[in-house]
Amino acid sequence: MPIKVQSGLPAREKLERENVFTMDENRAMHQDIRPIEVGILNLMPLKEDTELQILRELSNTPLQVDVTFVVVSSHESRNTSSNHLNKFYNTFDEIRDQKFDGFIITGAPVEQMEYEEVDYWEEFEEICAWTKTNVTSTMHLCWGAQAGLYYHYHIPKHKLEEKMFGIFEHKVSNRKIPLVRGFDDYFLAPHSRHTEVRREDIDKVPGLTVLAESAEAGVFLLMDTTGKKIFVMGHPEYDRVTLHTEYMRDKEKGLPIRIPKNYYVDDDCTIRPNLQWRAHANALYSNWLNYYVYQATPYEYTAVKAR
């Protein structure tokens, strides 16, 4: 089934070139089915790139997914035009009275700051509190996962000596959980971050289950017992060249950045990198939508129990 997006969204044309079926609001009105309502709080600077990446992942199920993009009002984006934001995004105040089946909180390039120093931290806390009652299941990505663990469970983050940057192997540690159904014992996923949440801190919190981790990159995937809160410490949604773009950007700025691990063939950044993580990324999002969003939400969505 298709993803419903607003008419004119630039990502829509790119998805259609990839044979991903999208529809606009007018056509969706004639579909006699209960769509899945998913909100996306996009905190990434290059919002159009993130839109495309996440919409691509949400497209791989038989469900019709209606997407609402959300932006914080307490921060002014410098990398996405105000015209794009005004046309395709809602502020939190505009959607706070709505109910969502699923909600995604993206990463953000602020992990080297203390949480309370982030200019939209208070609004972020308000949104996290809101998800307890207005969302069936929330998926937190990268910094959004670290910040979510800090808000919900007071789990701290720790600075790394150097950036965790590249493609890393992870082992599934609990195969009985539907979120990792269909995963191989080992799988690859991208990481791009300067901080980490440690396993020993997670283990101190009752009710959190680690589902996959890496000997080198640490914990990758964990969730609470209800499936209402899911935390992904990396970037499974990244496309083939995202790490390359980040690497070249940091090199041009003269920042201390090492070549992304396990990414380029023979560590040669002139060779187009292989796409090695897409299948498991698709499985992760499909399992989330199916088992924790669609099957957990009643047909008539009137309220969500706080858990």
- Asked if residues 145 and 89 have their Cβ atoms less than 8 Å apart, the reply is no
Q: E strands, the chain, where?
A: 3-4, 22-23, 36-41, 65-71, 89-91, 100-105, 135-141, 158-172, 186-196, 208-214, 218-224, 229-232
> What span, in angstroms and rounded, lies between the C-alpha atoms of 126 and 246?
30
Compute, in degrees rounded to 10, the torsion defined by CA atoms 275, 251, 44, 60. -10
Catalytic residue among 142, 191, 196, 246: 142
Catalytic residue among 140, 152, 235, 280: 235
Catalytic residue among 51, 237, 246, 280: 237
Catalytic, 122? Answer no
Catalytic, 235? Answer yes
> What span, in angstroms and rounded, lies between the C-alpha atoms of 185 and 182?
9
Catalytic, 57? Answer no
- Asked if residues 167 and 261 have their Cβ atoms less than 8 Å apart, the reply is yes
Q: Residue 3 has which token pair?
A: 């993803």
> What span, in angstroms and rounded, lies between the C-alpha atoms of 243 and 190?
8
> What span, in angstroms and rounded, lies between the C-alpha atoms of 76 and 95?
19
Point out the residues that are catalytic: 142, 235, 237
